[in-house]
Amino acid sequence: MDGRPGGGGARGPVRKAVITAAGMGTRFLPASKAQPKEMFPLVDVPAIQYAVEEAVAAGARDLLIITSRGKRTLEDHFDRSVELEHHLESQGKHDLLAQVRAIGETADIHYVRQKEARGLGHAVHHARGHVGDEAFALLLGDDIMRPDSPLLHDMLAAHSARGASVLALKEVPKEDVALYGCAEVDAVDGALVQVRGVVEKPDPSVAPSNLAVIGRYVLTPGIFECLERTEPGRGGEIQLTDAIGLLIKEEPVYGVVFSKGRYDAGDKLGFLKANIELALERPDLGPPLRAFLRELVGGAD
């Protein structure tokens, strides 16, 4: 495969995006027992809405969200609420009315359920019928990117230029690579690298690098056949990282290295950081919150 520029998919615009939202959210129990963690608000916007708006801003308006049991409120959020709209209109709250209506008009959103918790690869395979023979963007609902992040745009540009799958890669402390998929890469051009191999949650002492695979992908349809050949790992789960390892043997896979703009909203501390940073940037909340934090820190022991 060395040296050939493409091989995975057509070099046209990526029209479809897949967003995974099927996890059980055990790190947020008991709050996630009856409420999907993807609906937890970052200030006043559900986390899943950030991923949807990111995909749409990058040009994908045909979205498939992979859910599981107990996630009906997620679907309701992107549906119309005629009663709420009527109430807001009658109260003259036109700004809120516009926001509520825009949520349901963001994109064409479809849903499919992952009926068993068998890993990310198993969830992604559910998208095959919807995606077909097209390349697609994959966004993990736990990974939230700032609205001004160019990451997905850069990844789609790399796919368009190379006709290949593209992974989002981020340098992490060496001791943290055991929490992620880890990539072995060769430099190509600036932030663009070619991925030579991936290892799922390696021991830091044998990790090929400190470049972690973060929850944004642009994948060619070849990933689906690789998923079919991927053997279940620990806990009977099918890992997307293992399927990407198979894909690398058949066609080029690239990575875009980034450093800023990502929040791990699936982690309690990451979720709190996201709420604070996003709130600080808002003109209605930033000044009083900043004053409160100064007072809080100043009064700490």
Q: Is the pLDDT of residue 97 over 80?
A: yes
Q: Nearest-CA neighbor of 27 among 214, 234, 265, 266?
A: 266
Judgement on whether residues 26 and 119 belong to the same structural domain of the protein: yes
- State percent of the chain over pLDDT 90: 71
- The answer on 285 and 253 residing in a single domain is no
For 118, phi then psi, to 5°, come to -120, 30
Rounded Cα distance, 144 and 154, in Å = 16
Residues 119 and 149 in one domain: yes
Return d(Cα 94, Cα 111) in angstroms, integer: 30
Question: Is 218 in the same domain as 300?
Answer: no
- Asked if residue 5 has pLDDT above 60, the reply is no
Scanning the structure block, which residue is given the tokens 């994908």?
A: 60
Q: Are residues 175 and 301 in the same domain?
A: no
Same-domain check for residues 126 and 275 = no
Tell me if 2 is assigned to some domain. Answer: no
d(CA 112, CA 245): 26
3-state secondary structure of 142: coil
DSSP code per residue over 188-245: EETTEEEEEEEEES--GGG-S-SEEEEEEEEE-THHHHHHHHPPP-GGGPPPHHHHHH
Does one domain contain both 63 and 30? Answer: yes
Is 4 within the bounds of a domain? no
90, part of any domain: yes
The whole-number pLDDT of residue 301 equals 53
Query: Which residues span the domain enclosing 297?
Result: 268-301
8 inside domain:
no
In angstroms, rounded to a whole number, what is the distance separating the alpha carbons of residues 280 and 288?
Answer: 9
Least confident of 6-15, 44-53, 152-161, 174-183: 6-15
**Residue 42, Cβ neighbours under 10 Å: how many?**
18
Tell me: pLDDT of 216 over 80.
yes
246 & 285 share domain: no
Residue 41 lies in a domain: yes
What confidence tens digit (pLDDT) does each residue in 12-30 have?
Answer: 689 999 999 988 888 988 9
Express each pLDDT in 278-293 by its tens digit: 999 999 999 999 999 9
Q: Of 168, 180, 173, 103, give the one whose Cα is nearest residue 138.
A: 168
The CA R_g of the chain, rounded to the nearest whole Å, is 20
The pLDDT, as a whole number, for residue 106 is: 81
Task: Based on the fold, state whether residues 221 and 261 are members of the same structural domain.
Answer: yes
Number of domains in the chain: 2
Element (DSSP H or E) covering residue 292: helix 286-298
pLDDT for position 54? 95
User: What is the model's pLDDT at position 25?
Assistant: 84
Per-residue pLDDT at 206 exceeds 90: no
Average pLDDT, the chain: 90
| Whether residue 285 sits in one domain with residue 187 | no
4, pLDDT greater than 60: no
Does residue 46 belong to any structural domain of this protein?
yes
Tell whether the model's pLDDT for residue 214 goes beyond 50: yes
Q: Is the pLDDT of residue 211 over 80?
A: yes
8 pLDDT higher than 70: no
What residues contact 128, with CB distance under 8 A and at least 6 apart? 224
For residues 283 and 115, the model is more confident at 283
What percentage of the chain exceeds 70 in pLDDT? Answer: 95
Query: Taking 50 as the threshold, does the pLDDT of residue 69 lie above it?
Result: yes
